[in-house]
């Protein structure tokens, strides 16, 4: 190996193995029969070991160092620099550790599924203990400053730190807690229209209409059902989403499908010619979440969006919705009310769900709390922050898939993504002529093209903070989310206070 083409070929081979793992993971969560679990864990573990060995190959390392000293085109140089960072990080792991982690994740996921079905945390706890211990070891392998959790944060949101996130979540507590209370004291809107019988097949068919309207390419993807909605990809020409259906609650599928559709549009927007390269990979999970949250909330929960789409929804469910207007539906979908389930939460109290998980993860990884403490601590925080009593484990500590995947450090990116989304959408309105009128007309292509140009095509060639400044002229700033929220909900709940765009702090 001595050329840039050799470098591309090697990364393509790694991508082939990693996407094969992704196919097995997708099948495990969507179609795999129960008895396949044991050998599926073994298969994924074997492939994870192969991918790791390719990633830390000494010849590949020498090639990266050689190319890093050569005169290359700007994009090639950035690819090499990012790959060299990944190589040095990967070298900190042994193949045995990677395989052990992979096996633990597969076994943990199966245990979580059973535990959630039976609403019994004790089924999941033994496997989770193994995983948490491995994650603590991973922090030591990677190294960190100040907080072990910083090592895991960096895997999902590079260069983010506990110190920064603590400030961000203090803004949430300072600004959103009293605002949500103000809404709670106002006259409440009615959301009963969301809770009739809506046939599963019709729900799926309708959300596929919405996904196509967004620009999701069904020739390069599909939608299925899983326990927990997710997006996965095997290259930008095969990006799949799953959703969740509740025949008595229309909220479940709408926000799951639109949210995952936003993720999928990002993956489909990565350039196929950069397959396997940093330039062909998503930037960070915060940026990824900005895409899903922008489509789900800034677009999907807007009045203009449903002025266009409510008639289509009525055609699918005339017996339930013909006596309602788009405005009724808009008010019903934007109820602000503390709730048990994160994925079904409104966009304001949603941030409290993320805050709870962030606070728990920090202490769990540091060893201040242990796995057996989780249900009690979880339930207490839901009472403290949302004034909700958690009735059982399934609706409490077992509701998310993330810990069974070993995805510690992931949850904060949901709030980071919400705030990036508001800031990006604010900029898009400045740069796209009559954007909100276009959304009302069902013309979503201009927004998608703007996101493709500003975010998707760059892959991982900029840091998230750098990209945000490049797009909006400043760092991530909570004030845009707060201003967006107050402008919207002041009208919905007829509140007197006006949004103050100077509120909030930068990250």
In this predicted structure, the answer to whether residue 403 has a pLDDT above a threshold of 70 is yes
pLDDT tens for 214-256 read 999 999 999 999 988 999 999 999 999 999 999 999 999 999 9
> How high is the pLDDT of residue 501?
42
pLDDT tens for 6-30 read 999 999 999 999 999 999 999 998 9
Q: Which residue has the tokens 């503390």?
A: 338
In this predicted structure, the answer to whether residue 297 has a pLDDT above a threshold of 50 is yes
pLDDT tens for 194-208 read 999 999 999 999 999
Residue 496's pLDDT band, with cuts at 50, 70 and 90, is confident
Mapping DSSP to helix (H, G, I), strand (E, B) and coil, where does residue 241 land? strand
Residue 466 annotated to the active site: no
**Buried b vs exposed e over 243-269: b needs ≥16 C-beta within 10 Å?**
bbbeeeebbbbbbbbbbbbbbbbbbbb
Kindly state the average pLDDT of the residues 139-165: 96
Spatial CA neighbour of 57 closest among 80, 90, 101, 82: 90
Kindly state the average pLDDT of the residues 476-488: 96
Instruction: Answer for the pair 365, 149: CB distance below 8 angstroms, yes or no.
Output: yes
Q: Tokens for 359, please give them.
A: 């606070």
Q: Tokens for 114, please give them.
A: 């059973």
**Structural domain boundaries in the chain:** 4-143, 162-492
In this predicted structure, the answer to whether residue 282 has a pLDDT above a threshold of 70 is yes
Kindly state the average pLDDT of the residues 55-65: 97
Residue 37's pLDDT band, with cuts at 50, 70 and 90, is confident
CA Rg value for the chain = 23
- CA–CA dist 473, 410 (Å, integer): 26
Kindly state the average pLDDT of the residues 406-420: 96
Residue 304's contacts (CB-CB under 8 Å, 6 or more residues apart) are: 436, 437, 439, 440
Q: Are strands 239-243 and 231-233 parallel, antiparallel or unpaired?
A: antiparallel
- CA–CA dist 247, 208 (Å, integer): 16
Mean of the per-residue pLDDT values of the chain: 95
Kindly state the average pLDDT of the residues 151-171: 95
Residue 507's pLDDT band, with cuts at 50, 70 and 90, is low
> How high is the pLDDT of residue 498?
47
Mapping DSSP to helix (H, G, I), strand (E, B) and coil, where does residue 14 land? helix
DSSP letter (8 states) at residue 244:
-
User: Hey, how many other C-beta atoms are within 10 angstroms of the C-beta on 397?
Assistant: 24
In this predicted structure, the answer to whether residue 504 has a pLDDT above a threshold of 50 is no
Instruction: List, as own/partner pairs, every contact residues 131-138 make where C-beta atoms lie below 8 angstroms and the sequence separation is at least 24, other chains included.
Output: 131/101, 131/104, 131/105, 131/403, 131/404, 131/406, 132/364, 132/365, 132/371, 132/408, 134/97, 134/100, 134/101, 134/104, 134/406, 135/365, 135/406, 135/408, 136/365, 136/367, 137/97, 138/93, 138/97, 138/101
Torsion sign (Cα): 264, 266, 272, 275: negative
Spatial CA neighbour of 333 closest among 299, 382, 290: 299
Q: How much of the chain, in percent, has pLDDT values that exceed 90?
A: 95
Burial degree of 186 (CB within 10 A; 0-12, 13-18, 19+):
middle
- Residue 506 dihedral angles phi and psi, to the nearest 5°: -90, 155
- Confidence (pTM): 0.92
> How high is the pLDDT of residue 497?
58
Catalytic choice (157, 164, 252, 260): 260
Residue 326's pLDDT band, with cuts at 50, 70 and 90, is very high
pLDDT tens for 414-452 read 999 999 999 999 999 999 999 999 999 999 999 999 999
| CATH top class, domain 162-492 | mainly alpha
In this predicted structure, the answer to whether residue 34 has a pLDDT above a threshold of 90 is no
Kindly state the average pLDDT of the residues 308-321: 97
Q: How far is CA 232 from CA 115, 236, 241, 312, in A?
A: 24, 10, 6, 28
> How high is the pLDDT of residue 2?
84
∠210-214-217 over CA atoms, to 5°? 95
In this predicted structure, the answer to whether residue 157 has a pLDDT above a threshold of 70 is yes
In this predicted structure, the answer to whether residue 455 has a pLDDT above a threshold of 70 is yes
- Residue 462 dihedral angles phi and psi, to the nearest 5°: -130, 150
């Amino acid at each position: 190996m001595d050329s840039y083409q050799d470098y591309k070929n090697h990364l393509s081979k790694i991508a082939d193995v990693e996407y094969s793992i992704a196919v097995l993971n997708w099948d495990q969560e969507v179609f795999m029969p129960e008895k396949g679990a044991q050998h599926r864990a073994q298969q994924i573990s074997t492939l994870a070991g192969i991918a790791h060995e390719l990633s830390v190959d000494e010849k590949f390392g020498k090639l990266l160092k050689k190319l890093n000293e050569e005169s290359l085109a700007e994009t090639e140089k950035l690819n090499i620099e990012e790959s060299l960072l990944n190589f040095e990080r990967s070298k900190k792991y042994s193949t045995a550790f990677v395989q052990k982690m992979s096996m633990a994740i597969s076994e943990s996921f199966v245990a979580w599924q059973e535990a959630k079905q039976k609403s019994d945390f004790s089924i999941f706890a033994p496997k989770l203990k193994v995983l948490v211990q491995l994650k603590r070891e991973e922090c030591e392998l990677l190294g960190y400053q100040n907080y072990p959790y910083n090592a895991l944060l960096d895997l999902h949101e590079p260069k983010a730190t506990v110190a920064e996130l603590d400030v961000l979540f203090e803004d949430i507590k300072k600004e959103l807690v009293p605002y949500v209370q103000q809404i709670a004291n106002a006259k409440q809107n009615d959301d009963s229209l969301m809770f009739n019988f809506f046939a599963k097949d019709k729900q799926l068919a309708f959300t596929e209409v919405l996904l196509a309207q967004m620009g999701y390419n069904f020739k390069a993807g599909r939608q299925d059902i899983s326990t927990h909605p997710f997006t996965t990809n095997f290259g930008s020409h095969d990006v799949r989403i799953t959703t969740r259906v509740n025949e008595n609650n229309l909220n479940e599928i709408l926000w799951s499908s639109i949210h995952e559709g936003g993720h999928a549009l990002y993956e489909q927007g990565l350039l196929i010619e950069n397959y396997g390269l940093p330039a062909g990979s998503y930037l960070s999970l915060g940026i990824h979440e900005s895409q899903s949250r922008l489509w789900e909330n800034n677009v999907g929960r807007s009045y203009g969006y449903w002025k266009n789409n409510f008639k289509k929804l009525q055609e699918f469910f005339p017996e339930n919705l013909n006596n309602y207007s788009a405005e009724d539906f808009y008010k019903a979908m934007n109820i602000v009310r503390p709730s048990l389930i994160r994925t079904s939460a409104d966009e304001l109290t949603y941030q409290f769900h993320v805050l709870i998980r962030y606070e728990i993860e920090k202490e769990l990884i540091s060893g201040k709390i242990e796995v057996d403490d989780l249900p009690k601590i979880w339930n207490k925080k839901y009472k403290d922050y949302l004034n909700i009593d958690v009735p059982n484990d399934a609706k409490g500590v077992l509701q998310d898939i993330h810990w069974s995947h070993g995805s510690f450090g992931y949850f904060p990116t949901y709030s980071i993504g919400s705030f990036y989304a508001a800031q990006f959408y604010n900029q898009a309105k400045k740069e796209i002529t009559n954007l909100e009128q276009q959304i009302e007309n069902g013309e979503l292509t201009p927004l998608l093209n703007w996101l493709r140009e500003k975010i998707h095509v760059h892959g991982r060639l900029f840091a998230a903070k750098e990209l945000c400044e490049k797009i909006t002229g400043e760092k991530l700033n909570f004030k845009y989310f707060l201003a967006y929220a107050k402008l919207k909900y002041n009208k919905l709940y007829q509140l007197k206070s006006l949004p103050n765009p100077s509120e909030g702090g930068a990250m």
